[in-house]
A and B are shown apart, each in its own frame.
Chain A
Amino acid sequence: MKANTQADLLLPTNEDTVGPYFPINFSDPLLEDLSQFESGITAQPQGVPIILKGRLLDRYGELANGTVVEFWQANAKGVYRSPKHEGDSDIDPWFWGYGRLRTESGEFEFKTIMPGPCADRAPNITITLFSDGISRIVTQIFFADQTGNASDPLLQSLSCEDQAKLSARHEGEADCGSKIYTIDIVMAGENEIPFFDDLIREGE
């Protein structure tokens, strides 16, 4: 295979659109509710259960149906379950931090726990969208009522208007006691939220 001579790296396979027909039978209930561990097990993740209710909207304000949404977050103590933190005593054995769902309509409800702040970061959830018509796009959403937003380096790299677009609002409690947060993820056009480039680095 041809290598990129500059860095002696292989050329990556192109990302492509997921298309409209991501198989619904690939769904995994465990990935849509991180506030629970596997059924029948006496165990529960640490932290405050929350429900993130989102709407994915296109440039005409229509719901972006059939989109695959992925979530990645730290546990209640602010630790990501990644190789870098292997053996960390603050790893929660009942919490993986990776979620995935496919929304038929463009609206979604993701059950999880409030991520803790970590290092210099405010609580946040990384959101990856795979949708018909586009390849993977990523962003991070925050929580308007949590502390640390004013000093988060990612939020502070954005205008006030853009910061607000990435802030989920607390809107009551569900019957099960979980705090409900809502966010509109406008993918294109007026009110488009910021998306981030995880391939190009600063200074490159």
Chain B
Amino acid sequence: MSNTGRQLKIGPTDNTSDQRTPRNRLRLIPEIARESFAPYVPQRGLSRQNDWDLTRIAPDLPRAEGVAIEVSGKLQNERGSPISNAMLEIWNANHFGRYRHIEDHSNIPLDEHFLGTGRVFTDSEGNYTFWTISPGAYLARPDIGRWRPKHIHISVSGGGSRLITQLYFPDEPNNASDPMAILMGDDFERNIGKPYETPKIDVDSGLNFDIVVGGRNAVYFE
């Protein structure tokens, strides 16, 4: 073998990253075994009413507190081909920075009108759209005053595509000190949404986030 696999890096000031990041270099996969490492996710239709609109728990309920935003973009592979019928699973903290997750024990208030989870599917052109509340930043390391910047979690699965990522917001003061942003370096820019105006729909602003699924995830070209 003429080279070795990647050395994963530990996120600065991230204790969990220190605990869980493999210390040995990743091993190369013999070519004959390579294809077996690429899962093919069957299409599933699990979706509930209002899953695309995280700003309300249900259509008959009031909107959650904070700034309502639209997030939209195109899902494609590295060759620029759209990935259709893929599922995006979305979750984000509420306006104050609290998740309605049973393991989030912070003292930040819940919002009785915000659930914060949803699923959408890409259309035949690979486009997706959802609405949510712009999440609050929250103090991740009170001992050193390090915050998690505003972010939305997005998990993409469908066919040969599999990606878990986070969408960040432009010009946020906490972006620069985020452990994962530090590891991404200049590439972090690609995970920041691009603002657009939304004069004709019932949200305050929009954020464009085109997603490119790279690497081994593009083994099967849809």
Contact = CB atoms under 8 A, between A and B. Distances in A.
Interface in B121-150: none
Contacts of B165: 13-16
Contacts of B196: none
Given A13-B212, A28-B46, A158-B27, A197 B5 contact: yes
Interface in A126-177: 126, 128, 130-138, 140, 153-154, 157-158
B190 A134 contact: no
Contacts of B5: 196-197, 200
Given A14-B165, A66-B103, A197-B6, A133 B29 contact: no
A10 interface: yes
Contact of B33 (A10, A72, A121, A133): A121
Contacts of B27: 157-158, 194-197
A11 B91 CA distance: 24
Interface centre among B155, B210, B211 (most CB of A within 10 A): B155
A157 B30 contact: yes
B2 A202 contact: yes
Nearest to B156: A13
Interface string B3-43: 10110100100111111111110111111111111111110
B78 interface: yes
A130 B163 CA distance: 10
Interface in B106-134: 116-117, 119
A15 B23 CA distance: 19
B20 A12 contact: no
A172 B8 CA distance: 37
Nearest to B209: A13
Nearest to A118: B36
A81 interface: yes
Majority secondary structure of chain A interface residues (helix, strand, loop or mixed): loop
Contacts of B78: 4, 9-10, 12
B191 A62 contact: no
A58 interface: yes
Contacts of B184: 14, 16
A204 B3 contact: yes
A120 B32 CA distance: 8
Interface stretch (B56-64, B169-177, B198-206, B214-222): B214-222
Contacts of A124: 36
Contacts of A97: 40
Contacts of B89: 23, 26
Contact of A199 (B163, B190, B215): B215
A82 B22 contact: no
B22 A187 contact: yes
A154 B102 CA distance: 40
A58 B166 contact: no
Contacts of A84: 35, 220
Contact of B3 (A4, A28, A202): A202
Interface in A1-43: 1, 4, 9-26, 28
A137 B31 contact: no
Given A23-B89, A197-B6, A140 B21 contact: no
A84 B27 CA distance: 25
Given A153-B30, A153-B32, A200 B20 contact: no
B33 A154 contact: yes
B14 A133 contact: yes
Contacts of B180: 16-17, 135
Nearest to A65: B103
5 contacts: A11-B214, A135-B180, A140-B33, A187-B20, A198-B38
Interface of A: 1, 4, 9-26, 28, 58-60, 62, 64, 66, 70, 72, 74, 80-84, 96-98, 104, 118-121, 124, 126, 128, 130-138, 140, 153-154, 157-158, 187-189, 192, 194-204
